[in-house]
Amino acid sequence: MISINPIRARAAALLCACMLALSAPCAPARERLALTVVTTHPPSLPWVYVVRDHVLPEFARRLAVARPDLDVRWTTAWGTLYKWQQSLLGVETGLADIGWVGSLWESSRLPLQNVTYALPFITDDLPALMRVMNRLHRDIPELAATWRHYGAEFLGASGVDTYHLMTTFPVRSLDDLAGRRILAPGAAAVWLRGTGAIAVDGALSSYYTQLNTGVADGVLTILTGAHPFRIHEVAPYVTLVGLGAQCTGALTANTRTWARLPAAARPILADLGV
């Protein structure tokens, strides 16, 4: 009669199980792509909403098809990591791998990108204007080179609908603007020349406080942005001027991030940018 030691039997069974597990084919390790995406405003604004709800998920979907071994992980900051004055610096220094940059506040560093502010009343057709700006960046190397000089890779132009005037006082003629402090963001200040108004810099995220505290008496702004920030509560007088759609900036990538992106990722991101 053969006697089997139960302890040895269990040990042998465990050893066999371990050997089988080691001999089984292993699933390939997934490469991780971690990207930080930053904007200076919240997703209640159209140009931020489209990044959050279209660009990022569509990028991940397309990349999953092209590179199923790649796992994209997003870190996002919608208007919380740095202020509107620092959008270019944030991308340049690498705080953002992908970031929206407001060129309208960078007249000295990105003067060519602010060409539309020298052409008020040119059009209210924002999609057409964006197609023109994207084509200019494609056809004129100096435009893309300017972005790269500041550590940013241009992905696609960003713009806003036509500007109007919102004030704390009624406006019946241009004479009513004389001596008044009017918020005109960055490059938009040129529109107030000859009116007697004093241009004050600002952004949608700062307008409410500036108007409420008396720093300014009015603002040149877009109504699609004014409503989410409740600008109408402190500047109830609306004068429909229709200064035209404008190119306010661009979606960009940090140049170092762009260089390290997998080859399959760059054309996808470039296509979604425009």
Which pLDDT value is given to residue 10? Answer: 56
Mean pLDDT of 84-107: 97
Listed in sequence order, the DSSP H helices in 110-203 are 126-139, 141-149
**Region(s) of the chain under CATH 3.40.190.10:** 163-243
Read off the amino acid at residue 140.
I
pLDDT exceeds cutoff 50 at 18: no
Annotate 17-40 with b (16+ C-beta within 10 A) or e (fewer): eeeeeeeeeeeeeeeebebbbbbb
User: What percentage of the chain exceeds 70 in pLDDT?
Assistant: 89
Which pLDDT value is given to residue 7? Answer: 55
Contact (Cβ atoms closer than 8 angstroms) between residue 219 and residue 166: yes
Which pLDDT value is given to residue 2? Answer: 43
Name 267's Cβ contacts closer than 8 Å, sequence gap at least 6: none
**199: burial class by Cβ within 10 Å (0-12, 13-18, 19+)?**
buried
Q: Secondary structure of the chain: what % helix, strand, coil (to 5)?
A: 45, 20, 35
Q: Between these two residues, 21 and 214, which has the higher pLDDT value? A: 214
Mean pLDDT of 132-137: 97
pTM: 0.85
* 154: three-class secondary structure by DSSP: strand
pLDDT exceeds cutoff 50 at 46: yes
Read off the amino acid at residue 257.
T
Reading the block at residue 120, the tokens are: 């008020």
The order of strands in the sheet holding 98-102 is: 70-78, 31-39, 98-102, 246-254, 152-160
Contact (Cβ atoms closer than 8 angstroms) between residue 99 and residue 37: yes
If you write DSSP's letter for every residue of 185-241 in order, what string do you get? Answer: -GGGGGGGTTTT-EEE---HHHHHHHHHTTS-SEEEEEHHHHTTTTGGGT--EEE--
Give the pLDDT confidence of 163-184 residue by residue, as tens digits.
999 999 999 999 999 999 999 9
**Region(s) of the chain under CATH 3.40.190.170:** 31-159+248-273
Give the pLDDT confidence of 188-219 residue by residue, as tens digits.
999 999 999 999 999 999 999 999 999 999 99
CATH architecture of the domain with residue range 31-159+248-273:
3-Layer(aba) Sandwich (3.40)
Element (H, E) at 160: strand 152-160
pLDDT exceeds cutoff 70 at 23: no
Q: Between these two residues, 20 and 184, which has the higher pLDDT value? A: 184
Mean pLDDT of 216-227: 96
Contact (Cβ atoms closer than 8 angstroms) between residue 160 and residue 187: no
Contact (Cβ atoms closer than 8 angstroms) between residue 79 and residue 122: no
* Domain at 163-243, CATH from 3.40.190.10, 3.40.50.1100, 3.90.1010.10, 3.40.50.300: 3.40.190.10
User: What percentage of the chain exceeds 90 in pLDDT?
Assistant: 88
Q: Indicate the pairing of strand 70-78 with strand 31-39.
A: parallel
